[in-house]
């Protein structure tokens, strides 16, 4: 297979944050506004996620539309898993945070023991792809639990809550610039974008009386889904985030090789 994930560019982080915001706002809209309930909402989105992941695993290369649809659905399912633990089962957020942290460490440990790498630049086998998507799911659940726990401890308004994950992401960026391990920095930033996106969603969707902008969960979801669609369409046409340039069907070459040379 070709590498099944996108190159880490500014487009990657923009869409990732947009997806996390959708995960928070859309899950709340379906669950609370439409009244589907946690269980029904989780079942519906989990089934949709399984269907999209089947398409993702069957493909032999990175397809932006399929990949990012999977990320959007994982963001929703990850949010719902944490909500079930907290709201339905009464599990304290610090316990959920601890459990998901240990689970993530376990997944990383098994992934590295088997593959000897945690890099996302070599997702070219089925086992690595399975580890990758399992990691993504756990990071979304962990980010949700950690973000909600932070808000519970601090009592911050939605606007102020955006500042903490933003500051931590900038600290990770600075550490990477100073020579910290790129794989570690990537996954730390990946986890932190979850509470950042969720807090942005809360800020946009909450009523002005609660410190938000009053767009509502539906308005926020539609706005961000439309933006994701526009960016993914752009990336599909330009291939700017592909690690290999696809020229004709299954012909390919590393990025930078001219199409005329690989016909």
- pLDDT, tens digit, for every residue of 107-132? 999 999 999 888 888 888 899 999 99
Which residues, at least 6 apart from 69, have a Cβ–Cβ distance to it below 8 Å? 52
pLDDT at site 186: 93
3-state secondary structure of 70: helix
Which residues, at least 6 apart from 16, have a Cβ–Cβ distance to it below 8 Å? 71, 190, 193, 197
Tell me the C-alpha to C-alpha distance, in Å, between residue 238 and each of 57, 84, 184, 245.
23, 40, 29, 10
**Of 146, 230, 139, the residue nearest 195 (C-alpha):** 146
DSSP 154-221: H---HHHHTHHHHHHHHHHHHHHHTT--HHHHHHHHHHHHHHHHHHHHHHHHS-GGGTS---HHHHHH
Cα–Cα distance for residue pair 43/59, rounded to 1 Å: 25
Cα–Cα distance for residue pair 190/207, rounded to 1 Å: 28
Whole-structure pTM value? 0.85
Tell me the C-alpha to C-alpha distance, in Å, between residue 210 and each of 155, 164, 206.
12, 19, 6
What are residue 245's DSSP bridge partners?
Answer: 253
Q: Write down the H helix ranges in the chain.
A: 10-28, 38-58, 64-83, 93-115, 126-154, 158-161, 163-177, 182-205, 216-238
Which residues, at least 6 apart from 182, have a Cβ–Cβ distance to it below 8 Å? 176
Low-confidence spans in the chain with pLDDT less than 70 = 1, 244-263
Taking each helix axis from N to C terminus, what angle separates 10-28 and 64-83, rounded to the nearest 10 degrees? 40
3-state secondary structure of 4: coil
Cα–Cα distance for residue pair 138/75, rounded to 1 Å: 10
pLDDT at site 53: 95
pLDDT at site 1: 66
What does DSSP assign to residue 120?
G
Taking each helix axis from N to C terminus, what angle separates 216-238 and 64-83, rounded to the nearest 10 degrees? 150
């Amino acid at each position: 297979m070709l590498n099944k994930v996108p190159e880490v560019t500014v487009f990657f982080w923009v869409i990732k944050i947009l997806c996390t915001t959708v995960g928070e706002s859309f899950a709340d809209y379906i669950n609370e506004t439409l009244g589907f309930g946690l269980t029904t909402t989780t079942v519906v989105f989990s089934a949709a996620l399984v269907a999209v992941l089947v398409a993702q695993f069957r493909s032999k290369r990175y397809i932006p539309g399929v990949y990012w649809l999977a990320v959007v659905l994982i963001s929703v399912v990850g949010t719902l898993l944490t909500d079930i633990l907290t709201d339905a089962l009464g599990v304290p957020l610090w316990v959920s945070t601890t459990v998901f942290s240990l689970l993530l460490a376990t997944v990383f440990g098994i992934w590295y023991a088997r593959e000897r790498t945690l890099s996302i630049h070599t997702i070219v086998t089925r086992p690595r792809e399975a580890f990758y998507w399992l990691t993504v799911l756990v990071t979304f659940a962990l980010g949700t639990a950690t973000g909600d726990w932070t808000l519970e401890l601090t009592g911050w308004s939605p606007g102020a809550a955006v500042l903490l994950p933003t500051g931590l992401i900038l600290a990770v960026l600075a550490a990477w610039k100073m020579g910290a391990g790129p794989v570690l920095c990537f996954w730390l930033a990946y986890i932190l974008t979850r509470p950042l996106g969720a807090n942005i969603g809360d800020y946009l969707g909450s009523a002005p009386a609660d410190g938000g902008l009053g767009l509502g969960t539906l308005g926020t979801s539609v706005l961000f889904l439309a933006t994701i669609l526009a960016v993914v369409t752009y990336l599909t046409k330009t291939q700017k985030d592909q690690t290999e340039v696809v020229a004709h069907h299954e012909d390919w070459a590393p990025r930078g090789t001219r199409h005329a040379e690989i016909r």
